[in-house]
Structure 1
């Protein structure tokens, strides 16, 4: 059985900056595990997620900024 690519990950390049993605998509973008994403968020190494009811989501624009840090 092969793991399916999350739809949000496949479409990440065309998502608007104000869209929100789940933790599995964020983990795939950073190439790490889901628990690592939560650890990095607590340590303020990546943007903090937002809660929508019982769902936790990350802002696409903020994640793009974290993936492509500004040059010095």
Structure 2
């Protein structure tokens, strides 16, 4: 990865659908909407009429919580 891209990744504030996909979050847009409505996924931010994103900090925290709690249900 180029140094310039690394700096962008370190300062990223939002995740788009493409970023979520790269993280392994492959749920459809409608599934994410349902999860958001049930407070089981961070709320999206509308950044234009036809575009949404999620706060990186909220998504990262949510994924970390899921990872930490995965052993609790056994």
TM range (shorter): 0.5 to 0.7
Q: TM-score, normalised by structure 2?
A: 0.58
Instruction: Map 1:12-31; keep pairs closer than 5 Å.
Output: 15-16=9-10, 19-26=13-20, 28=21, 29-31=24-26
What is the alpha-carbon distance in structure 1 between the residues aligned to residue 14 and residue 35 of structure 2? Answer: 18
Q: TM-score, normalised by structure 1?
A: 0.59
Greater per-residue helix proportion: 2
Task: Choose from 39, 44, 67 the match for 1:44.
Answer: 39
* Structure 2: gaps spanning 5 or more residues: 70-74
* Distance change >3 Å, CA 38–CA 23, structure 1 → 2: farther
**Larger Rg computed on CA atoms:** 2
* Distance change >3 Å, CA 31–CA 52, structure 1 → 2: closer
Q: Partner of 1:7 in structure 2?
A: none
